[in-house]
Amino acid sequence: AQTVTQSQPEMSVQEAETVTLSCTYDTSENNYYLFWYKQPPSRQMILVIRQEAYKQQNATENRFSVNFQKAAKSFSLKISDSQLGDTAMYFCAFTYNNDMRFGAGTRLTVKP
């Protein structure tokens, strides 16, 4: 069974600074997909970034980028120039054959 681990229950960062959220996963599959979703207080799940396991190049979406280390089964999210609107729960997710599994989440607070 696939498992996803987020070892940082809570993190905080000053506005305009950079923060990295950690995620590790366990799988015996080779071609899978990884995601970071953001859940603000409204509880709407928002797709932040996604990575195909067969691509070596790390995905980037504006201020958000990932460090994907396939051999280490690590998938961290870096948020640059943090903004107050980035305050939310962040969930790392792994999916294979449409079976998506989430980590426990990291609550990020951006401080002014």
**95 near other proteins, rule: CB under 8 A:** yes
Residue 51: CB minimum distance to other proteins, A: 9
**64 near other proteins, rule: CB under 8 A:** no
**45 near other proteins, rule: CB under 8 A:** yes
**43 near other proteins, rule: CB under 8 A:** yes
Residue 38: CB minimum distance to other proteins, A: 11
Write the DSSP string, 35-103: EEEEE-TT---EEEEEEETT--SPPEETTEEEEEETTTTEEEEEE-S--GGG-EEEEEEEEETTEEEE-
Interface with other proteins by CB under 8 A: which residues?
33, 35, 37, 42-47, 50, 52, 91, 95-105
